[in-house]
Amino acid sequence: MADLLEVIGDPQRRRLVQLLGAGELTVNQLTSHFTVSRSAISQHLLLLAQVGLVSARKAGRNRFYHLEPDAVKKLQAQFDSFWSAELDALESEANALNKSRTRPTSKETSNGF
């Protein structure tokens, strides 16, 4: 099974998540925002459902899709963790670079500078 970040990596699935952020929508309502077929949107929704990001409720002939709050929180936590780790690594590299620039070279120390 694909992971949450892998599934959300597709631009059309990200757009679906964005649209569903405003509330429940049917496949037909979602499809109206895309140039791809209803079947393609259904396949994207299936993948989003498989990772738990969306769910659907049936009402008559319609299925209303909505975001799952716990999965959205999990996705946010993964992004936060990623950026925290990346920013920590960037800070470490910047500090190392700064130290290497401020250390006197052996030539400078032997000349009394």
Mean pLDDT, the chain, whole residue set:
85
What average pLDDT does the segment 55-67 reach? 94
CA distance 86 to 67: 28
pLDDT of residue 3: 80
Among 22-31, 65-74, 91-100, the minimum mean pLDDT is found in: 91-100
Confidence at residue 110, expressed as pLDDT on a 0 to 100 scale? 56
Binned at pLDDT 50, 70 and 90, residue 50 comes out as very high
- As a whole number of angstroms, the distance between CA 10 and CA 47 comes to 11
Give the DSSP letter string of the chain: ---HHHHHTSHHHHHHHHHHTTS-EEHHHHHTT-SS-HHHHHHHHHHHHHTTSEEEEEETTEEEEEE-HHHHHHHHHHHHHHHHHHHHHHHHHHHHHHHHHHSPPHHHHHTT-
> pTM for this structure?
0.69
